[in-house]
Amino acid sequence: MNDESIINLGYCYQYGIEIEKDEIKAFRLYKEAAEKGNTGAMNNLGYCYQNGVGTKKDEIKAFELYKKAAEKGQIDSLYNLGKCYYYGIGTEKDEIKTFKLCKEAAKKGHIYAIQNLGYCYQNGVGTKKNIVKAFELYKEAAEKGHIYATRNLGDCYQNGIGTKKDEIKAFELYKTAAENEAAEMGHIYAIRNLGDCYENGIGTEKNAIKAFELYNDAAKKGIIESKYQLGECYYYGIGTKKDEQKDGNKAFKLYKETTEMGIVMSIYRLGECYYYGIGNKKDKTKAFILYKAAADKGVIESVYQLGECYYYGIGTEKDEIKAFKLYKQIAGKGYINAINDLGYCYHHGIGIEKDELKAFELYKKASENGHITSKNNLAECYQYGIGTEKDEIKAFKLYEEYENKL
């Protein structure tokens, strides 16, 4: 047999095509052709060493084989060598080399390299960020049938990355990618994105049931973010009938699982579960610990809840100064509940000296942004002349607005 026939036979053994699967035979056949200098076989042998196919894993050998074949211009090895440098497989990480190899393979028409080159430009991997180039490369790869690129192109249209926003195009691209079951991760992530579209009405009408089904599908296929979103569906009854106990248990389990997997919002949600006793017994101390962990990672809702814990002494000792600082931190970011509560702190001298003018200004800001309780607080300011001149007409109107909103 010639080299190509040996490689093809190895491929058949590797994947069980028209023959019983036998990875050891596949490995031996690739090795035989590689030893004769066939660069395609070197690439396939590198893959075997990288992934433990028919042999023990050996990432250094994998790297060496990819490098040897890439130096001779073998297109798949150029791509795989770039991945080695990106992930540090058998070598040290080197994003500049990743970019160069990706670019070289893309020029030769390697569809995966075209997609990954787009990723490099979008995220500044080994080169300066260039979202227009990223968009163009995703488009090129998508037009050639690359499903992950199709999904990424949808993301570009949804968020206006390198092109004008077009939510209808985004939806259509996610749908195309989601329906391609042969495309592995690109397909699975698109299922999640399609769920987002149906939940939030992005490029299509809202459909909570479809959103739930898609999140459930993506979660079963291992997408961590979808497990979190599925937890949200059970927590709020999105696309599923809410059964407080059963769905609370499901939400709690999903938040717990995704917290352990590093989803930051899940830490906050798990804190909520312990705080309110959803899917588990109430535990205010655990809630406080989780709020603090999520707040330290920048979850704005958790910063607010942590402030509440310090203000009321929930799961920790009462500390009005810490509460004030936390409210101030996120009030500056426009978090409406914190704006009102910061006003309350200035109004009553909680954690800070009294400042009725600041209290009035903060109540007014929160009220103008639709915060209900702040309307009552602002009405009180106008009624009694707190931080402003008395104005009983304004006070009456605000009290009326407040009552109508309850």
Residue 247 has pLDDT above 90, yes or no: no
How many of the other CB atoms lie within 10 Å of CB of 94?
Answer: 16
Could you tell me the CA-to-CA distances from 238 to 210, 235, 279 in Å, in that order?
A: 10, 8, 17
Confidence of residue 183 (pLDDT cuts 50, 70, 90): low
For residue 298, what are the CA distances in angstroms to 112, 224, 227, 330?
A: 34, 20, 21, 10
Give me the domains of the chain, ranges plus CATH numbers.
1-93 (1.25.40.10), 328-406 (1.25.40.10)
Q: What stretches of 144-223 show up as alpha helix (H) in DSSP?
A: 147-159, 167-178, 185-200, 208-220
Percent of the chain with pLDDT strictly greater than 90: 94
Residue 358 has pLDDT above 90, yes or no: yes
CB neighbourhood size of 133 (10 A): 17
Q: Confidence class of residue 99 from pLDDT cuts 50, 70 and 90? A: very high
Q: 279-282 long-range contacts, Cβ below 8 Å, gap at least 24?
A: 279/248, 279/249, 279/250, 279/251, 279/252, 279/253, 280/252
What pLDDT is recorded for position 243? 74
Q: Is the pLDDT of residue 371 over 80?
A: yes
**Tens-digit pLDDT profile for residues 165-178:** 999 999 999 999 99
- Distance, in Å, from the CA atom of 61 to the CA atom of 52, rounded to the nearest integer, reads 11
Which candidate, 329, 275, 321, places its Cα nearest to that of 303? 329
Of 140-144, 239-243, 264-268, 275-279, the poorest mean pLDDT is in 239-243
User: What percent of the chain is modeled with pLDDT above 70?
Assistant: 99
Q: What is the mean pLDDT of residues 339-359?
A: 98
Mean pLDDT of the region 233-237: 94
Q: What CA–CA distance (Å, rounded) separates 32 from 183?
A: 31
Give per-residue pLDDT as tens, 298-325: 999 999 999 999 999 999 999 999 999 9
